[in-house]
Structure 1
Amino acid sequence: MIVPSPDRLRTRLRVSRGALAHSVSAAAWRGALEVRRADPTTAVALRVGLAVLIVLVAGGLSGQTEVAGFAALGALASAFLRYEPYPRLARRLAGVAGLIVASTAFGAMLGVTGAGIWVQVVAVSAAAALVYWLVQVAGITGPGPVVMIFAATGAAGYADTAVAAGHAVAAAAAGGLVGWLVAMAPMLTHPHSPSRIAVARALAAVAEVEQLGADAVPAARAAIDRARDALADTPSRRVDRHVLELLALVDAAEATLDGRRADTAALDDFARLEAELRRVRSDIRTPRVDAAAAGLPASRARETRRRTTDRRLWSGAARVGVASLVAGGLASACGLASACGLSHPLWAILGAVATLQGVNYSHTVQRGIQRLLGNAAGAVLAAAFLAVDPGYWPLAIAAVACQTGAELTVTRNYAAATTFVTGTALLLTAIGNPVGADVAAARVGDTLIGVVIGVALAALNVRADD
């Protein structure tokens, strides 16, 4: 057994104290409230809202209102991987939908077997660690593993018989199919849209270097790499003149960043081209290239295999599992759940998972603050709505509106997005199982436990260079 030296232990404690101090600093809270410049996300937000609307309407018309919430969770697959090129999106989005369905089945199994709350806490915590690792290894962007864990916790509370479990899983699968179809539908009319958006983001990032200086260079290079990666996935049969023009724009952006471009490629042109690329029209003026001389970059399929051995991802998964276990256990222990009105202790796991989705400690703290503020605001809104016992159809419409709002605000400020996410979660909970306005207080209390545990655990093993 390796015992850390006193000097290393003191250094670790000093770093952890500094990390915890940051979590309550004014700078951290100001950063959590900052509203960022965001990509136009209206089309994606409307598609996600449409997918949720379709399944909720279908659930209402078919009389399957009790499982309509699980269908809506399946439809949220359309919120993932929003910037992926369609050939890659078809494969990966099916995997996301399958993961949501599998999580629903896992939670339903816990419910059917009558597992006690402590068994559920341990099992869901282990599932949270596994889902986190899978999402990170596969590089799945979007809402993150919290959607899958919410499906598992919801199914654990709903399914008390095999028939009920089957209905929940079938609803999630149907919702996942609808989400996949809605997300893939634009491929029929605008097959190059994801590549165009990726190139537009690269041009915007390079243009920002002029304003922000050298600090913006790494982000600009990453945006250029993502644009090349998106173009690399274009099927050979779809490599037309427009794809080559997009590649030429990426080359021009990289040349500008490296200082190899003449004055004719002014940054003003990048701003104009960025705006035009975000439109559905294809009649833009871009640099012309010789098709015979142009070539697409190689795809990065090896990245996933490399990430499977990344020790930081394994460490992150372990941290998620431990934080979930501690948060869920604390919410359930010593009668705390009943004494404080925390009737859904598994929601504490959701708070821990959502907080620890941050890419570093500073981001983790920011996510925790934003999650807490958003949960409080969303809970107040949902409580006011649930207090009047609105019935299925008003609940469905409000849930669609909240989910669309979440997609519209998620790249601007996570606290604002979480306000809508919390509203969606509580409304979907009420759709499947009528509840009172007091469920909002339980949501805030359980989330507070998860956030505090997540931030504290992250501070204990924060890297000195983080």
Structure 2
Amino acid sequence: MPVLTDSTRLGHSRGALVHSVSPATWRRAFDVHAADATIAISMRVALGAALVLVAFGLTGRSSLAGFAVLGALSIAFSRHEPLRRTAAKVGFVGALVVVSVVVGGLIALAAPPMWGQIAVIAVLSGLAAAVLTAFRVGGPGPVILIFAATAAVGSTGSPADLRAATVAAAVGAAVGFVTALIPFVFLPWGPARLAVARALAAAAAVPDGGRVDAAEAAIAAAREKLALTTGADGHAHLRDLAALLAEAEAALADWRRGDGTRLAAIVRHGQELRRVKQHTVIVGHPGAPADLPRPSGFFAAGAAGLRARSIAHHGGRIAVAAALAGWLAAAAGLGHPLWASMGAMAAMQGVGYAPTVQRAIQRLLGNVGGAVLAAAVLSASLGYWPTIAIVVVLQVAAEITATRNYALCSLFVTPMALLVVGLGTAVGPEIGLSRVLDNLIGVVVGVVVAAVTVSVKDRMHLHAST
């Protein structure tokens, strides 16, 4: 980061803080974005959660079901990825969930003072954010890992408790891994077809104001997914899909020369690719041998990414924000200061300042509404089976809205998280108020730390405020 005078740094940070309270910024938090192909992934995640919730309920282990659900949620960290990449990401996150439970349980057994617990969780927050960013793992983000750790802190009273929670998380991760791979038995080409369809749509949108660079990036991403897709009966289909991408590139080149005829012609191919089927001939004849990139290995690329200075900076600022938020919540006498740490981390998952502010506002709004929903359900004392049915429904709604609007997603995630907590320990409706207050501290601290540490090259928030 460049060395600046105090006045320049303070002025830039002051402008960032002004952006966070501008009416335009808050209005933008209510924008709902278009999203496609959300039903399949939401059903998959809900299936994994339902399987472990039912299994632990039937075996009389309902108090451990929450840890199993957190392991199963590893499914949500791979959206529309080919088989190899899905297996790597879901398995990797499942293992991280188990490690987080172990770390949380060890904190509880060591019994440090609250400020010490917050410090360890803050460091874990920074590490989790850095690792997932370096490995390019999206989905719910590191908040799931920290939630697993804090849940273990609150429920571990003995080594036996830690062993039980760890096994439950591992079982959930295994169920999540298997569930994530089931669709590839029936639709092995699904992610590749969707990626090509999105690339064609991005190219076709250029004459109507779409960005050429965005279309080119979508084509490159589709080629990578084709390279990652394997299947003994799919080579001809691979050539067809690769030929479609080549056609899209040629159509873009024609459009630059003033001829948009070919761009209009590729729209119908994208619509055909979105239909649910294993494969179908799109081009009408085998294309030329596919010239696809050689994708980097998931673990090799992630390990290399960890050495980037930007990753260390990202993890460090999240650790600082998580520690400050937790300590402030503890000093204020709130009952769950570790939730404030999670709130700060969740708000700062974005790589830029403007997305950080948007995420913070949306998380706060969603938590308020979600806490009301949670209080209503908890006050009804429904019992285990009705509760898990509600949890599954909330999980579906959260996944469907995750890429549309984070406030809507938080509206469903908040009651789901509180109900999952209630599976292991008795909680009342008042826990919703604690959740809101802790998250309020977390998001405010997260925004302030993001403003203080904002890069001078990050000026997107200045344009967003106008």
Same fold per TM (> 0.5)?
yes
The alpha carbon displacement at 1:126 in A equals 0.6
Counterpart Cα distance in 2 of 1:133 and 1:160: 30
Aligned match of 2:302: 304
Counterpart Cα distance in 1 of 2:15 and 2:326: 26
Counterpart Cα distance in 2 of 1:177 and 1:303: 24
TM-score where L is the length of structure 1: 0.93
Counterpart Cα distance in 2 of 1:125 and 1:40: 35
- The 5 Å alignment of 1:160-309 reads 160-213=157-210, 216-235=211-230, 237=232, 239-259=234-254, 265-267=262-264, 269-270=266-267, 272-282=268-278, 284=280, 286-288=282-284, 290=286, 293-301=289-297, 303-309=301-307
Aligned match of 2:462: none
The alpha carbon displacement at 1:258 in A equals 3.4
Q: Return 5+ residue gaps in structure 1 as ranges.
A: none
Structure 1 residues 98, 139: CA separation in 2 closer, same or farther (over 3 Å shift)?
Answer: same
> 1:248-275, CA deviations, whole angstroms, 9 ceiling, x for partnerless residues?
12222223333369655333632x3323
Q: Which amino acid aligns with 1:388?
A: A
Aligned match of 1:104: 101
> 1:350-405, CA deviations, whole angstroms, 9 ceiling, x for partnerless residues?
10111010121000000000000001111100111101111111111111111110
Tell whether the 8 Å contact from 2:340 to 2:438 is kept in structure 1 after alignment: yes
- The 5 Å alignment of 1:329-408 reads 329-333=327-331, 336-337=332-333, 342-408=334-400
The alpha carbon displacement at 1:217 in A equals 2.8
Aligned match of 1:85: 82
Larger deviation: 162-171 or 245-254? 245-254
Aligned match of 2:464: none
Structure 1 residues 267, 282: CA separation in 2 closer, same or farther (over 3 Å shift)?
Answer: farther
> 1:59-110, CA deviations, whole angstroms, 9 ceiling, x for partnerless residues?
1101101110110111100111112110221122111100011101110111
Counterpart Cα distance in 1 of 2:43 and 2:420: 18
> 1:231-290, CA deviations, whole angstroms, 9 ceiling, x for partnerless residues?
1112374651111111112222223333369655333632x3323222222464522454
Larger deviation: 381-390 or 290-299? 290-299
Q: Which amino acid aligns with 1:131?
A: A
> 1:40-76, CA deviations, whole angstroms, 9 ceiling, x for partnerless residues?
2101101101110111011110110111011011110
The alpha carbon displacement at 1:297 in A equals 2.0
Q: Which amino acid aligns with 1:65?
A: S
Tell whether the 8 Å contact from 1:224 to 1:250 is kept in structure 2 after alignment: yes
Counterpart Cα distance in 1 of 2:264 and 2:432: 49
TM-score where L is the length of structure 2: 0.93
What number of residue pairs does the alignment pair up? 454
Tell whether the 8 Å contact from 2:394 to 2:416 is kept in structure 1 after alignment: yes
The alpha carbon displacement at 1:3 in A equals 12
Counterpart Cα distance in 1 of 2:28 and 2:250: 33
> 1:319-357, CA deviations, whole angstroms, 9 ceiling, x for partnerless residues?
010000100111112xx12xxxx2111000110111010
Tell whether the 8 Å contact from 1:114 to 1:160 is kept in structure 2 after alignment: no
Counterpart Cα distance in 1 of 2:426 and 2:201: 47
Counterpart Cα distance in 1 of 2:279 and 2:142: 39
| Paired-residue identity, % | 44
Larger deviation: 182-191 or 111-120? 111-120
Larger deviation: 179-188 or 231-240? 231-240
Structure 1 residues 265, 105: CA separation in 2 closer, same or farther (over 3 Å shift)?
Answer: same
Output the aligned Cα RMSD: 2.0
- The 5 Å alignment of 1:9-158 reads 9-158=6-155
Structure 1 residues 21, 132: CA separation in 2 closer, same or farther (over 3 Å shift)?
Answer: same
Aligned match of 2:403: 411
Counterpart Cα distance in 2 of 1:299 and 1:267: 31
The alpha carbon displacement at 1:202 in A equals 1.4
> 1:154-189, CA deviations, whole angstroms, 9 ceiling, x for partnerless residues?
010001111111111111111111111111001111
Q: Secondary structure at the match of 1:40?
A: coil
Instruction: Return the match for 1:427 from 414, 419, 422.
Output: 419
Counterpart Cα distance in 2 of 1:185 and 1:313: 33
> 1:180-205, CA deviations, whole angstroms, 9 ceiling, x for partnerless residues?
11110011111111111111221222
Counterpart Cα distance in 2 of 1:191 and 1:141: 22
Tell whether the 8 Å contact from 2:244 to 2:283 is kept in structure 1 after alignment: yes
Aligned match of 2:438: 446
Pair 1:159-2:156 in alignment: yes
Structure 1 residues 464, 152: CA separation in 2 closer, same or farther (over 3 Å shift)?
Answer: same
The alpha carbon displacement at 1:454 in A equals 0.6
Counterpart Cα distance in 1 of 2:303 and 2:213: 24
Q: Which amino acid aligns with 1:243?
A: L
